[in-house]
């Protein structure tokens, strides 16, 4: 009964019914479909918000890489200063050098012992 009335109403107002249906489709399309573009970063289709997130991530990676380069350049600069000091006949603190070398050897010994302990535990368990 109700379906027959709806069909009759659509037939009677066919132009209005088609226009209403098209308006409904356009409203759904405007509300439900976000604009997308091919991302130059991930090479997938992304929305504006997703593109912004990818952009921020790349910028952050670039900043971290620049920071790493700055640290490496600072170390090279310090080493160059030490080399120039020695070349000019300057002296370094021998106690400081000896302490640094002994610290490096101590760390190496600790790492070596940890590796040997792990090998021994593995062999005793097996």
pLDDT for res 33? 74
**What residue spans define the domains of the chain?**
1-33, 35-92, 93-126
Which portions of the chain are predicted below pLDDT 50?
none
| HEC-encoded secondary structure of 69-80 | HHHHHHHHHHHH
pLDDT for res 78? 83
Instruction: Provide long-range contacts, Cβ within 8 A and 24+ apart, for 79-84.
Output: none
Report how many helices (DSSP H) and strands (DSSP E) the chain contains, helices first. 4, 2
pLDDT for res 119? 81
């Amino acid at each position: 009964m109700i379906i027959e009335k709806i069909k009759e109403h659509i037939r009677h107002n066919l132009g209005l019914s088609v226009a209403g249906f098209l308006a409904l489709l356009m409203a759904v399309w405007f509300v439900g479909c976000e604009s997308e573009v091919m991302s130059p970063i991930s090479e997938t289709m992304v929305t504006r918000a997703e593109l912004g997130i990818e952009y921020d991530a790349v910028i952050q990676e670039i900043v971290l890489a620049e920071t790493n380069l700055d640290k490496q350049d600072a170390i090279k600069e310090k080493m160059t200063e030490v080399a120039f000091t020695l070349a000019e006949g300057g002296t370094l603190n021998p106690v400081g050098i000896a302490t640094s070398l002994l610290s490096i050897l101590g760390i190496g010994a600790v790492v070596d012992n940890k590796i040997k302990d792990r090998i021994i535990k593995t062999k005793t368990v097996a």
